[in-house]
Amino acid sequence: MTTTAPVANARDLALAHYAARGVLEHVLARHGATFQQQIALRAAITSDAPQTPDDLLTQVWDSLKADPADIRATLDELLAKQLLVADGAHLRPTDAGRELLATVGAEVAPISARIWGGIPAEDLAAAGRVLALVTERANAELAALTA
């Protein structure tokens, strides 16, 4: 008997995203951080050059498509928590910000290994191609809607 694999759709993608995000948000909450704060902090930490608030806002918006006012509030929260610091026109991650991201990463790593473990490399490659194409198309549709 041959079983047909289910065909992925938008609902499946959303359910997978929110399940994985729920895991991360649970870990972040233990450290008093939010998902959006983590995205903004990661953008600041992984950037090759110092970022202005507008640079970080753009990076976070590109990732989350969140309201720019909410993103600015998130940057203010990170400054208030001293996870980012103003350095002239730029925002830089503090040692505390880097430590938070490293700690969360270390806590999430074994969970991620359990979630992703055992998935064949060819399936991951196919999923990666499909997700990149869906992202590209959805970004194009959003751009057309907001133009």
Q: Kindly report the CATH number assigned to the domain that includes residue 62.
A: 1.10.10.10
77 belongs to a structural domain: yes
> Which one, of 83, 78, 85, 108, lies nearest residue 98 by Cα?
83
Q: CB within 8 A of 47, min separation 6: which ones? A: 55, 59
Is residue 90 included in any domain, yes or no?
yes
The per-residue pLDDT for 1 is: 64
**Residue 112 lies inside a defined structural domain of this protein:** no
Indicate the pTM of the whole model.
Answer: 0.90
Range in 4-13, 117-126, 138-147 with the lowest mean pLDDT: 4-13
Residue 129 lies in a domain: no
**Which structural domain, as residue segments, surrounds residue 52?**
24-106
As for how many domains the chain has, the answer is 1
Write the CA distances from 77 to 19, 82, 98, 116, integer angstroms: 26, 8, 16, 32
Q: Residue 5 falls within a domain, yes or no?
A: no
The pLDDT tens digits for 67-97 are 999 999 999 999 999 999 999 999 999 999 9
